[in-house]
Amino acid sequence: MKHHLPYQTLGYRFWDTLNDSDFYHLFALGYDKVTSHTYDWDGLKRIDGPLYLFQYTVSGYGNVIIDGHTYRVDPGYAFLLDIPSHHRYFLPKSSDAWEFYFILFRPSNLENHWQELIRRLSRVPYIPPDSSVIHSLQDAFSAGVNSRITDGYLASSLVYRFVMELFRFSTGRTKEKEHWPSAVRQAAQELETRYRYIQSLDEIAANAGLSKYHFVRVFRKFTGFTPIEYLTKIRVERSIDLLRSTSLSIDAVAKEVGYAGGSYFIKVFRQWVGFSPGEFRSGRELVGLQRMKFD
């Protein structure tokens, strides 16, 4: 994680969306390093709420007390707070400094999302510094420092992106395969190259060195799909290429991608694409797509 931006706090009030409940409202962004033990925020004494706060430790550490429980917020840890609420965060006497990023935004349109994120992540989650969540927070602060947050629409999209990155992180899923465990990468590679021949999960799990139950759980955590869903995704994507680029019959396409016959393939294809293979090939009531990605 690179830190070359100046320490500062940026506040936002945009009149173009201020009174419109259809938007997300950014309140402040900050990157700071505190060394004074007078740094102390009481969640019941603040007058700037209602707000949601996400704060992420870069170096040093601070403490946060939530409903009577004290947490040490070390590098890589964040906390999620409602303002006002029964909490306090501060630089304890045992810490010389606390460096952090933070974002504050209004609860408008986000109440259910925020509570679901807390349920999934906890109030004080660990988030790797190279994660998309932290990159999006740094990008937002960089945009603010460089005066690129120019209206309420941009600010709203920034808040939405950050919240969606938190959701994506909360699933454990990442598109970057290099971050997948080696067993998951190996299994995904096998599914992508041997999709025509794979008959059961057992052989894939065995090759990955995992029990079938554990394999399914870990694979889904990192890819967002069960192994069977991932295999189906590969087969459907490949079948779309064949339907658009060849004159093979539907049965031939089905066999080419690993299905025994056309009837089951047609059923699966319709479930995933919303059209039968024949309708997709003819382009009836469908734009002329050459390829589809299921992620």
Amino acid occupying residue 273: V
| CATH annotation of 8-170 | 2.60.120.280
Question: Long-range contacts of range 213-219, CB-CB < 8 Å, 24 or more positions apart?
Answer: 215/183, 215/187, 218/181, 218/183, 218/184, 219/184, 219/187, 219/188
Residue pLDDT, tens place only, 239-260: 998 998 899 999 999 999 999 9
The pLDDT confidence band at residue 92, using thresholds 50, 70 and 90, is: very high
C-alpha 183/C-alpha 65 separation (Å) is: 39
Provide the pLDDT for residue 209.
Answer: 78
C-alpha 210/C-alpha 264 separation (Å) is: 29
C-alpha 101/C-alpha 59 separation (Å) is: 10
Helix axes 152-170, 132-145, angle to 10 degrees: 160
Asked if pLDDT for residue 290 goes beyond 70, the answer is no
CB-CB contact of 244 with 255 (8 Å):
no
Weakest mean pLDDT among 28-37, 88-97, 156-165, 178-187: 178-187
Fold of 191-282: Arc Repressor Mutant, subunit A (1.10.10)
Strand ranges for 113-173 from DSSP E: none
C-alpha 166/C-alpha 120 separation (Å) is: 10
Residue pLDDT, tens place only, 118-162: 998 999 999 989 888 999 999 999 999 999 999 999 999 999 999
Greater confidence, 104 or 290?
104
Percent of the chain past pLDDT 90, that is, above it, reads: 62
* Pairing of β 78-83 and β 69-73: unpaired
C-alpha 222/C-alpha 174 separation (Å) is: 6
Asked if pLDDT for residue 67 goes beyond 60, the answer is yes
Which SS3 state, helix, strand or coil, does residue 170 take?
helix
CB-CB contact of 275 with 283 (8 Å):
no
C-alpha 202/C-alpha 211 separation (Å) is: 8
Residue pLDDT, tens place only, 1-59: 555 678 999 999 998 877 777 889 999 999 999 999 999 999 999 999 899 999 999 99
Q: How do the domains of the chain map onto residue ranges?
A: 8-170, 191-282
Tell me whether the CATH fold assigned to 8-170 matches the one assigned to 191-282.
no
